[in-house]
Chains A and B, each alone.
Chain A
Amino acid sequence: GAVVSQHPSWVICKSGTSVKIECRSLDFQATTMFWYRQFPKQSLMLMATSNEGSKATYEQGVEKDKFLINHASLTLSTLTVTSAHPEDSSFYICSARDLGIAARSSYEQYFGPGTRLTVT
């Protein structure tokens, strides 16, 4: 249980275009989802926290107009990188919290497999 999927797993787009990444909790309801960015050989940096039905909370330094997050249902959150540029190339990972009894810890986050974005 507690599986999170991401789509696509990798994407190449041209500079100036927008790309949407989906994050789905497959077998549980996720009231909260998180989006992280990981540059090569670096750590995961939290970009934003997404709560179902409300606006996302962005971390300091993350442009909310550039990284649009929508959490329209309890199983789906999307991240749209608008007007992408080469410096946006990164590995984007989402995670979700399972508040059900299946969680080993009520604070555990289940991670998706990640999406590798390359902007040319």
Chain B
Amino acid sequence: AQTVTQSQPEMSVQEAETVTLSCTYDTSESDYYLFWYKQPPSRQMILVIRQEAYKQQNATENRFSVNFQKAAKSFSLKISDSQLGDAAMYFCAYRSNYQLIWGAGTKLIIKP
């Protein structure tokens, strides 16, 4: 069975600096999708970025980018120029059989 592990329960970063959130997963599948979602205090789950496993190029969305290492089964999220609005829980998710399997989440704190 697929599993997703986020080993950092909490991270903090100074506003305007860069932070990297870690995610590892376990799977025997060769083709799959990975996602990062953000859940601010409002509880609305927001899609941040997605990565197709067959693509070698790392996905990028404005200040958000991923470092996808397929062989190592690692999928980290880098947030550049951190802003106060980035404060939230960040969840890494793996899509398997049309359902999402989630990590436990990392709480990101932005220090002004």
A and B, one complex? no
